[in-house]
Amino acid sequence: MLGFLVYTLGYVISAPGKFNFIICQLFQIIGFVILLFGCIPLIKSKIDNSYLKIIYPIYFIWLLSVIFRGFQFDYISIKNSFINPNGVLLYFTPLIILLPQKLTFYKRIFDVIIIMGISFLVCDVIFIKGLLDRYNELTRDYIETFTILSVPCGFILLTYPYHTNKRKLIAGGIVVLSLLLAIYRARRGLSFICFSILMFSYYIYLINTKKKVLLIYLSILTVVIGVLYISDTYKVNKNGLFGFIVQRGETDTRTGVELYFYNDMKTKDWIIGRGINGEYFCPGIDFNQQTDYRALIETGYLQIILKGGIVSLALYLLISIPAIFLGFFHSKNILSKASAIWIFIAVMSLYPTTVDSFSLQYLVVWISIGICYSKKMRNLPDNIIKEIINNPSSLV
């Protein structure tokens, strides 16, 4: 987790272009080396669930085929593939479910989530001027890059009973701030993710609190006041916080890109994809676009198809959807239900945005899949989980 943290921070601080790229890339390389040497001794080949034991190897072998189709072995290409979160490390992320399913490991995940969340706040303070410049194209890049650090805090909200009030307060504030920044810059996909996290966190709290009636009344009152306030604000100033996203909501920015994608993809490409370096013809879309070909499409499921085809998307869904049902309907603790919700949000986000990247958000998706497929984890009582996460030394 230390290696992953160093790698991610190296990438994030390079995005604004204010720091030396060589130093940032050096951080990423150091982080990757630490991560590699930390993970290899922990990986085990044993998978307990019979269904996952069959489908997972097929999926991982297919991901390896995606890597080797179109991979370039020159120094520059290899380096760029490892320092880019959408590069080769993305396809090795599913290996994390082969790590031992231990609560002490999940505690480390929660620790890293908080560290990244605080790093997000630091980045916001440093680059506050750029973040508030709504009409600067770089503002969009700032927000989308910085929220790599903040969105995983939602997993702490979903597992709130296991954490201290201080952690819950920090995580909640960070997710709300991420939502406000996403709304301010009209990032619809990011807004959807943050809002979904908050709503599901509220749902988990609602079904576990003893003051349900009072909470429901307060919630209804808050929603009504919020709707009236937003409506009044929008009438008074259409250029306010919500005015921009309303304007963006009325603007179709995807159809043109998707039509280019559909026109360029052949039958074979739809089935097996174009490999790790696959691109599609899409002229005049990106700011300062150097070529007429793009390696990224903002629609998540199409991005998966571009690289690995419908085969890759189908195998991913065949793993993730059963995990959702196991974690939510066949579990006895909030950790499993929160994991199922996290996977569900990731699957639902395949249309409005791209979740798949070598980021903590996507890493937690596969950690959640491991939790949901583990019968032992699903059957642990909440009090045992809380005790171990708050006091790891209690685990013998």
Q: Give the list of residues 6+ apart from residue 40 with CB closer than 8 angstroms, or none.
A: none
- pLDDT exceeds 90 at position 76: no
pLDDT score, position 221: 52
Question: Domain segments of the chain: what residues?
Answer: 1-42, 43-394
Count of alpha carbons within 13 angstroms of residue 89, beta-carbon side: 25
- Say how far apart CA 64 and CA 70 lie, in whole Å: 12
pLDDT exceeds cutoff 90 at 370: yes
The predicted model gives 97-109 an average pLDDT of 87
Residue 207 pLDDT level (bands cut at 50, 70, 90)? confident
> How high does pLDDT run on average in the chain?
83
Q: What was the pLDDT predicted at 17?
A: 67
- Could you report the per-residue pLDDT of 260-288, keeping only the tens digit for each? 889 999 999 999 999 998 889 888 776 55
Confidence band, pLDDT 50/70/90 cuts, at residue 362: very high
What pLDDT score does 227 carry?
53
Is a pLDDT exceeding 90 seen at residue 343? yes
pLDDT in tens, 228-254: 444 544 444 445 554 554 455 445 556
pLDDT at 129: 80
Angle at 62 between CA 57 and CA 65, to 5 degrees: 130
> What is the pLDDT at residue 345?
93
Please tell me the total number of residues recorded for the chain in this structure. 396
Q: Tens digit of pLDDT for each residue in 127-170?
A: 888 777 766 667 777 888 888 999 999 999 999 999 988 999 99
Please, are residues 348 and 317 in contact by the beta-carbon 8 Å criterion? Answer: no
Higher pLDDT pick, 191 / 57: 57
Q: What is the mean pLDDT of residues 56-73?
A: 90
Work out the number of other CB atoms within 10 angstroms of the CB of residue 82: 16
Q: How wide is the angle at C-alpha 321 spanned by C-alphas 318 and 326, nearest 5°? A: 120
What pLDDT is stored for residue 232 in this prediction? 45
pLDDT tens sequence across 292-308: 888 888 888 999 999 99
More confident residue, 226 or 308: 308
Judge contact between 347 and 396, C-beta under 8 A: no
Mean pLDDT of 323-328: 95
